[in-house]
């Protein structure tokens, strides 16, 4: 039965639309171990998505793909990689989505066969006019197999391909229609293409291997994993085309929109050893810690970070304050997807597996605890409790991001407003709710300065509610939800 969705349900669906993904592509004039290269690169990008992984290899124009739910090492084994085998090009994807809605069919890269050939596409981001385009395409006869906006992008490109003389021309025409966040790696029978939306919400960089291969990756850590060197970012609005070892660029969409790189990439998503736009993620996080001390100084005995995402900022806070940095927690690295979670009974018996405090660092001490962010507030409450249990005398929480106050429509999983703890409580109430002696957030002004360039043009929409491009229209979400039959 199709029911009209409630507003709550719409927010839930919106939440489900948000994905944080990693994309990769490689192209060489000569056949290479394309599947293996992509496998290693996806391993390095695993932090960007743990729900599914996929690789498509191009062997002499024939595209073969393997995708499934799970981590990279669960989806691929020697047999599946050798079936994909050698080729001159490959694209790969790791995906994170927030709901279980038809997960398997939404695995990427998406491979489509169209009138002028075939195409594999891997996407990081979120379209904001997904529903409008879907409707338009459906009315023109398209039949969708997935619920993801990547299929909308694929069909928008293949439709344009019918009346254009090359795939890159079709991509450029499609870009006139696509709105929102998209960093794409596209593979046609003869070309590897990298595309970034004109706002440049999500990262995409270009690398080159000493052997002459070109690579495209969400983050430079993927290039490092295969011995390729970071060359530069694909610019917001740019289309780069790699064909037969030669790179060309179409910049006709560059500079057509307000710059809006997601500042949360520096704060949380990206790996600290990555370089984005030539700026080290580790140093940006350390800078966040330094700013935090300047904004919210406190007298304390030790600075600790929540592993892994709070460690770099904790180091910065310690450096700037002169208060020693300590190892406050040990995170168990061996907890996989098949780990049997402790029940309430186990927890009451004191079973704690994932994260354990180091008593010698915190017992009897005034502790500054640094983390990247608070969303619903669940994690920080638990962590503060652990510190109190081992005898921390004071706990001062510092967050390396501003308060999450608004939804994100461009690829970050920020839940609906009523679930955001910073929307519900003011600072004094937050302190009580979390059980800490003081709390301090990074200011939006300082978040914009993390890479040291004033006026760089970050998107800080989830912190301030102002977005560099128009958010999606509610009426379309309504329509789309009722189509899905959710409610």
Q: Which residues bind ligand AMP (CB under 6 A)?
A: 268, 309, 371-380, 412-414
Among all residues, which ones are annotated catalytic?
21
Q: Please state the closest distance from residue 326 (CB atom) to ligand AMP, in A.
A: 19
Among 294, 283, 305, 303, smallest CA distance to 450 is for 283
Q: Which is nearer to ligand AMP, 19 or 238 (CB)?
A: 19
Query: What phi and psi, each to the nearest 5 degrees, are found at residue 462?
Result: -70, -15
Of the candidates 185, 278, 180, 183, which has an alpha carbon nearest to the alpha carbon of residue 230? 278
DSSP 269: I
Question: Strands 366-371, 394-399: parallel, antiparallel or unpaired by DSSP?
Answer: parallel
User: Beta-carbon neighbour count of residue 162 at 10 Å?
Assistant: 10
H or E element in which residue 255 lies:
none
Work out how close the CB of 445 gets to ligand AMP at its nearest, in angstroms, rounded to a whole number. 21
Q: Which is nearer to ligand AMP, 97 or 280 (CB)?
A: 97
- Rank residues 29 and 307 by Cβ distance to ligand AMP and give the closer one: 307
Q: Are strands 205-208 and 229-233 parallel, antiparallel or unpaired?
A: antiparallel
CB of 380 to ligand AMP, least distance (A): 6
Closest distance of CB 477 from ligand AMP, Å: 20
Q: Label residue 239 exposed, middle or buried (CB < 10 Å: 0-12, 13-18, 19+).
A: buried
Q: What are phi and psi of 34, to 5 degrees?
A: -65, -40
φ/ψ of residue 409, rounded to 5: -110, 10
What does each C-alpha distance from 17 to 12, 150, 456 come to in angstroms? 9, 11, 28
Nearest residue (CB) to ligand AMP, 20 versus 132: 20
Peptide bond into 374 cis (omega under 30): no
288 closest CA partner among 307, 314, 269: 314
Beta bridge partners of 95: 52
DSSP assignment string, 350-411: T---SEEE-HHHHTTSEEEEEES--SSSHHHHHHHHHHHHTT-SEEEEEESS----S---SS
47: closest CA among 124, 148, 121, 149? Answer: 124
Helix axes 7-17, 474-484, angle to 10 degrees: 90
Residues 450, 284: contact at Cβ < 8 Å?
yes
Residue 319 Cβ, how far from ligand AMP at the closest point, in Å?
21
Query: 109: closest CA among 152, 190, 53, 26?
Result: 53
Q: How far is the CB of 401 from ligand AMP (least distance, A)?
A: 8
Least distance (Å) between residue 84 CB and ligand AMP: 30
- Could you tell me the smallest distance in angstroms from the CB atom of residue 421 to ligand AMP? 6
Residues in the chain: 487
């Amino acid at each position: 039965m199709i029911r009209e969705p409630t507003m709550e349900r719409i927010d839930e669906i919106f939440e489900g639309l948000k994905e944080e993904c990693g994309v990769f592509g490689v192209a060489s004039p000569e056949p290479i171990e394309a599947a293996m290269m992509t496998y290693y690169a996806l391993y390095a990008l695993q932090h960007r998505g743990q729900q599914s992984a996929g690789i498509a290899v191009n062997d002499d124009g024939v595209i073969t793909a393997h995708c499934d739910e799970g981590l990279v090492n669960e989806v691929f084994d020697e047999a599946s990689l050798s079936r994909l085998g050698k080729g001159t090009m490959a694209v790969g994807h790791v995906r994170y989505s927030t709901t279980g809605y038809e997960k398997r069919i939404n695995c990427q890269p998406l491979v489509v066969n169209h009138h002028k050939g075939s195409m594999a596409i891997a996407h990081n981001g979120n379209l904001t006019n997904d529903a409008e385009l879907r409707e338009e395409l459906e009315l023109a006869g398209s039949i969708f197999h997935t619920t993801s906006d990547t299929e909308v992008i694929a069909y928008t490109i293949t439709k344009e391909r019918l009346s254009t003389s090359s795939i890159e021309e079709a991509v450029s025409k499609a870009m006139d229609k696509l709105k929102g966040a998209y960093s794409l790696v596209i593979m046609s029978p003869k070309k590897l293409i990298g595309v970034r939306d004109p706002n440049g919400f999500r990262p995409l960089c270009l690398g080159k291997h000493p052997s002459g291969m070109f690579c495209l990756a969400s983050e430079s850590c993927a290039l490092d994993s295969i011995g390729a060197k970071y060359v530069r970012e694909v610019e917001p609005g740019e289309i780069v085309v790699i064909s037969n070892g030669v790179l060309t660029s179409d910049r006709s969409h560059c500079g057509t929109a307000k710059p809006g790189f997601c500042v949360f990439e520096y704060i949380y998503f990206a790996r600290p050893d990555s370089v984005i736009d030539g700026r080290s993620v580790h140093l940006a996080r350390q800078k966040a810690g330094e700013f935090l001390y300047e904004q919210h100084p406190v007298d304390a005995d030790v600075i600790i970070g929540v592993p892994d995402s709070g460690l770099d900022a904790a180091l910065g806070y310690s450096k700037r304050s002169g208060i020693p940095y300590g190892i406050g927690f040990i995170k168990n690295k061996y907890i996989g997807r098949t780990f049997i979670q402790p029940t309430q009974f186990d927890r009451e018996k004191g079973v704690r597996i994932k994260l354990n405090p180091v008593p010698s660092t915190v017992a009897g001490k005034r502790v500054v605890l640094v983390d990247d962010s608070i969303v619903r507030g669940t994690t920080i409450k638990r962590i503060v409790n652990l510190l109190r249990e081992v005898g921390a005398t004071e706990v001062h929480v510092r967050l390396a991001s501003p308060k999450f106050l608004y939804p994100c429509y461009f690829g970050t999983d920020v839940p609906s407003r009523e679930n955001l703890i910073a929307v519900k409580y003011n600072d004094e109430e937050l302190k009580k709710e979390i059980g800490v002696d003081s709390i301090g957030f990074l200011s939006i002004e300082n978040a914009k300065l993390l890479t040291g360039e004033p006026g760089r043009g970050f998107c800080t929409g989830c912190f301030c509610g102002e977005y560099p491009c128009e958010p999606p229209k509610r009426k379309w979400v309504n329509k789309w939800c009722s189509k899905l039959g959710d409610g």
